[in-house]
Structure 1
Amino acid sequence: MRAFTCLLLALALCFTGGVPAFAADSAAELKECRTLERAGKFEEALAKYLDLIKSAPSEELYRDTGSLLGKLQRYDEAEKLLQEATQAFPRSTPLLNLQALIALRKGRTEDARKIWMTVLEIDTGNSFARKELDKLGQAAAAPSREPAAPAASSGAARIETAPASDKPAQGKDDAPLSPEEQKKLALQLYEEMIGLDKWETARFEELHRQVIEKCPATDHAIESCWRLSNLYLMADDQPRYEDVIQVLEHLVSAYPNSQMVPEAKNRLLLAYKNGGHPDKVVTMYQELFKNTPNPDDRTFMLWGLDYADALSAVGKTAEARALYEQVIEKDGGKDQLEARVARERIGQK
């Protein structure tokens, strides 16, 4: 399901001359549909999407509607809609990618494979189709393209965690890029991202890594760290916690004075917890309680329970038990969830 929650890019439509009134109305209605969807009003959004398709069908509208049906796991409806869509827009790689993804979700691997091969016949550089075929073991048979300039590898390459000033970005002949050159390059890379289809997550990853590694003296590098962490959390069926940890540890280490650091640390704590790193959870809570020695009772209970669980996981059972008891004490007999869990942890009733 997470594959359908990838970030959405706003695609601008260019017109020569004035924009007809009906086009402006459709754009406003499409915006309303997306607002409803972001608010979690899925059925209302879907009804409006389908009404819009009847009156003013477009590639973008079919794509958004199909994505929502996929998100809701209504695959039969999505498949029917996308058959209609790809007949109207047979060379639309976003629609074909979505159609293949739906076929895969329904267990029709061979159909998905054939559709993604068609995508690569239309666009040999379509990274989403190539990535999915690679998962299916078919990438070698797909049409290939000559590689462009070397790019950061997807997922495998590690980002250096030294501060940017210690490792200057390099350009031609290994000459360091000036701050102005870094800014110019970052803007070029972001401009390319604006033109990508939303399914091209592998290319998004490559470009964000280039920004981080080649333009470290720019604000764009910090933004790319954060956006990469979003991608790693949401773009695949399962969150890529190790990659989240890598990129956010880099952000915190390389840009300690950034306003993004508190949010990055909050997300790191989540990644450490869900990614199986209780030792790092312990370290973060030690820092948190050091910086906030007297939190209110409710905050203490929330932090204390997670901290105690992490202490228990690393074998510090006595410290964990003491913290569980403090959580119970802070509850003051209200029988809140954290207190109930703490009592279970130490065998109390």
Structure 2
Amino acid sequence: NMNDIILFLKEEGEATLNDNYKNCCLTLIAHGSTFELKIKDSLNCEYSETFPKTDNYEDLHKYVSERFSEWEKEYIQGEAKTLEEVMQERLEQKKAEEEAQEEKNSEALINYINSGDENFYADCLVYYENKKNLSNSLNKLIHTEIENYSKSQLKIAIVLKTVYDKKLYEVQGYKNIYDYANNEFNIARGTVSNWLMIVNNFCTLNEQTGFYNLDERLKDFSITQLVLLRQLTIEQIEELGITSDLSTRNLKALIKEKLNINAIATSVKPDIDASALPDNPEDEEELYEEADAIDNAMNEPEEIHESEELHKEQEEHPMEKVKLRLMFTGGSELSDTQIVFLNKFLTSQPKTRI
């Protein structure tokens, strides 16, 4: 509507004719006896075309169409492409240039962190004065380092499994894989146990090389995720729809749902040799502790609130102290670790007292 256009020109100094014409914003600005057609593309680059001022809408439409067509031809420079294709190419080119500059700044930042040499940081100082740029770069750096660390851990786990299979720790003068890993590399016993379980469950042995390879279906999972998944089969992982992009919280929820066991508690420590059982020490990393809690929560005795009648009855008819108390909620599926523990415990008791 020409009246609306004139009104906006008087009140605002400009009027938007179309905010998305071929991915461009067209704005009209009045200058004395001429109109200026301002064209802004998807890169926010602005271009200007002029034509005589008019109060007639048909003339205005004609001038705008002609000027835009002339600008469009110049914009694509005679290439056999549409305006949208050229704009997309330029957008991708600009993005590539920004990513290259970001990579250069990130490299300078890493060199500065490693060396403390301010000459590295001077080149990107202005860029990193923006907290968002600094935060994004450091976030990317941490992700990269964690990914590299995770891959390194998996390699160590695979090599340790071969050392374990071939008892190569004995060559170094150790009685078992745990002492070997702890004394040589300061790797905790629980971590070794988890790693060996991962390789045993999710890797296949290459008979020719003597080393293991992670199943292709799990190649995108980090070792941290594999630790959480170590008691599921690959088929169960696929059945639950577990993917490597799941958050740790969602991953744990799915695992707990599958295991379907809330707690296993003991009132006293069983009088058995626990050295053969998978060991997950209390001082291990929090992530591993939470994973172990699903199938190895055996540290806290269950609290029992006894009534006076029950207490009196127990005094009159004393019973042997409870050796083991099991609590199941929502199912009775046991993990491999729990089955091993129960078998060890039950077989250690005199048959007349079981």
Q: Taking structure 2 as the reference length, what is the TM-score of the superposition? A: 0.19
> Larger radius of gyration, structure 1 or 2?
2
Greater helix content: 1
Q: Taking structure 1 as the reference length, what is the TM-score of the superposition? A: 0.19
Q: Which has the higher contact order (CA 8 A, sep 6+)?
A: 1
Greater strand content: 2
